[in-house]
Amino acid sequence: MVWNENIECMDRDTLRKIQDIRLKKMVDYVYHNTPFYRKKMQEMNLTPDDINGIDDITKLPFTTKLDLRDNYPFGLCAVPMSQIVRIHASSGTTGRPTVVLYTRKDLSVWAECISRAFTAYGAGTKDIFQISYGYGLFTGGLGAHQGAENIGASVIPMSSGNTTKQIQLMHDFGTTVLCCTPSFSLYLAEAIKESGLPRDEFKLRVGAFGAEPWTENMRHEIDQNLGIKAYDIYGLSEIAGPGVGFECECQNGTHLNEDHYYPEIIDPNTLEPVEQGETGELVFTHLTKEGMPLLRYRTRDLTALHYEKCDCGRTLVRMDRILGRSDDMLIIRGVNVFPTQIESVILEMKEFEPHFLLTVGRENNTDTMELKVEVREDCYSDEINVMTVLKKKLVDRLRSVLGLAVSVKLVEPRSIERSVGKARRVIDNRKL
Amino acid sequence: MVTKQLSIFLENKSGRLREVTEVLGKAGINLSALCIAENSDFGILRCIVSDPEKAYDALRANHFAVKFTDVIGINCPNTPGALSKVLNYLTDEGIFIEYMYSFANGDSANVIIRPSNLQRCIEVLTTKKVDLLAASDLYKL
C-alpha cells in the first residue's frame, strides 16, 4: 500500500524539479532567518542567487553535530520561539544535548513521512500499534505515535521498559504492530517465550524497528523469534526523527522521503560527492523545514544510494542498510571495525544468542578486543573440549571477517545486559 | 543403571558456585556428589542430586544454563588395583572415558563415569559383574 502515491511514485524528473525549487527557496529562507548560515555563506562569498537548484548544492556549506552543540540551545532556530510547538533533544552522551525545534508545519510533515512508512508496512486503520520507543526528549516515541495516529490506527503509548507489562498489553489488547529498537524486540521475544503465553494468542504481525543499525541476519532472527515481518524505519532527530526513510514490502533498501530531506553521499575524507551507487557518508539538506532547517547535515552514517525504480512502484531513492556510523567505527590496530560486522558473524553461527559486548582496551601499546557472547541453552555441552572447539570456531570466523584476533569469552545465558533502548554493544576503554 | 547428572555452565567469576548451592539449598535439594571442570574463562559443574528434575527446574528458574547428562555409577572395593581392573574391562572393549570422579567411603569407593558409549559400557560392566549403582541409590547418598 502507498500513502501518498503522487509523491512516492512520481517520475524522477518531476521530483527533481520540485527539489530544485524547494532548495532555492530554502537557501533564501535560511540566509535571511538563520544568522549562522548567513555568516557561513558570506564567508564563502555565496548569496542565495548563486543557488538555482540541486546542481548547485555542492557549493553550500556543511553542518555538523558540533555546529548544533555550538549553537545550543536555540541558536539555529529560524522562526520566533512563539512559532515553535515542540522541542526534542538527543541524549547527549558526550557534552551538551543536541536540540531540535519543530513548528506546527514541521510536525505535520514529520507525521506525513511516518505515515508513508507505516502504510508501506501494510498497516492501516484496523491496526493496534504498541509504541515501545521511549517517550520524551528522544524523537522515537512521540514520532511514531503521531505517525500511527495520522494513519488512523489505534495507538498504545507504551514507551520503553517494563517488559512484563509490555507483554501483558500486547497479549490482552491484541497489538498487531510493534515499534521499538531491534535489540529490544529480541529481548521481548525472549521474554514472551519465558512468559509461557502461547504465540497464537498474540496478534502481532509487523515490527517497525529503528534508532540503531541492524543487519539482515538480525532481521531473520527477529522474523523467526517473534513470528512477524520486521521492517526498517530510518531517522535521526537532527533531520526529523523516525520516518526520514522506510522499507517497503520488497525490502531491498530503505526509501528516503527525498521531497522533504534531500540526500547526498560524500567521501568523509575529501568531502566530495562519490559516484552514484558508491558507499560514503550520508548527508541531508532540509527542503521544507521551518523551525530549524539544516543545510548539508553530515549524519556520519555510512551507506549508498540507488535511484532505479523499486518493484513496489515507488521512485523514491533507496538507501542500503547502514553499515555503521563513521563515529561508531572503531580503529583497532589500524583496521576499521564496525560493531555490525561482529553482530553478523554471531548471528550466522546458530550456537550463539544475538547479544554481545565488545570491550576494547590497550595493553603494551597494542589494541585488544574482548568479546563476550552467550551460548544458546540447547547448544551447551558438558565437555570442556566441545566448548573450546565452539569458541575457536567463533574466533576463527571473526579473524577471517575482521582480519583481527578477538579474544572470546563464553558467558552464561542472560548475563549480558539487555537494552530497553539503544543497545550498548561496545565499551572502549582506550585512553588516547 | 543410568544416572541423571546435572551439568551447569558457569562463568569463571567469584560467587557463582555459591549461588548454585544456594538455589539448590532453598529448593530443598541435597548434593550427593559434585566436581568442577574448568578452563580460564568458564567452568562446568557436574553434580548428582537428590531430585534431578526439581533441581533442574529450580536452576532454570534462576537462569542457569543447565542440562542433564547420563552417567553410570559403580561401586568398587577400596583396595589397590580395584579401579584399574574395572578400567581394563572398558579399555579392552574400546570404550573411552570422557570424564570421571569418585570418592572412597570406608571399604568401598563410588565412581561416576561418563563413557563414550553408555549402553555398551553398561553391558560390559554387567557381564563382568561389576557392582553398578542404581540411580535411586546415588540420589539418596
> Using a CB-CB distance cutoff of 8 angstroms, which residues of chain A are in contact with residue B63?
412-414
> Using a CB-CB distance cutoff of 8 angstroms, which residues of chain B are in contact with residue A412?
9-11, 63-65
> Using a CB-CB distance cutoff of 8 angstroms, which residues of chain B are in contact with residue A414?
63
**pLDDT confidence band for A285 (50 / 70 / 90):** very high
Interval A315-326 mean pLDDT: 86
pLDDT of residue A323: 74
CA distance A115 to chain B (A): 41
Judge: A412–B63 Cβ closer than 8 Å, yes or no. yes
Going by their DSSP bridges, the two strands A297-303 and A324-325 should be labelled as antiparallel
* Helices (H), ranges, chain B: 16-26, 52-61, 82-92, 118-127, 135-140
**pLDDT confidence band for B42 (50 / 70 / 90):** confident
Identify which of B7, B11, B39 has the shortest CB distance to residue A412: B11
- Is the pLDDT at A2 greater than 70? The verdict is yes
**pLDDT confidence band for A422 (50 / 70 / 90):** low
Per-domain boundaries in chain A: 1-328, 330-428
Indicate the CATH number of B71-132 among 3.40.50.11540, 2.40.30.30, 3.30.2130.10, 3.40.50.980: 3.30.2130.10
pLDDT of residue A92: 52
Per-domain boundaries in chain B: 2-70, 71-132
This prediction has a pTM of 0.73
Judge: B98–A388 Cβ closer than 8 Å, yes or no. no
Do B2-70 and B71-132 come out as alike in CATH topology? yes
Q: DSSP letter for A3, please.
A: S
Superfamily of domain A1-328: ANL, N-terminal domain (3.40.50.12780)
- For the domain made up of A330-428, the CATH class stated in words is alpha beta
More confident residue, A331 or B34: B34
Spatial CA neighbour of A293 closest among A42, A15, A22 = A22
pLDDT tens-place string over residues B53-93: 999 999 999 989 999 999 999 999 999 999 999 999 999 99
- Is the pLDDT at A66 greater than 80? The verdict is yes
Percent of residues, chain A, with pLDDT higher than 90: 71
Q: For A60-97, give one letter per residue: b (16+ CB within 10 A) or e.
A: beebebebbbebeeeebbbbeeebbebbbbbeeeeeeb
- Is the pLDDT at A317 greater than 80? The verdict is yes
pLDDT of residue B130: 92
CA distance A151 to A213: 26
Percent of residues, chain B, with pLDDT higher than 70: 100
CA distance A380 to chain B (A): 8
> Using a CB-CB distance cutoff of 8 angstroms, which residues of chain A are in contact with residue B67?
377, 380, 382
Architecture of domain B2-70: 2-Layer Sandwich (3.30)
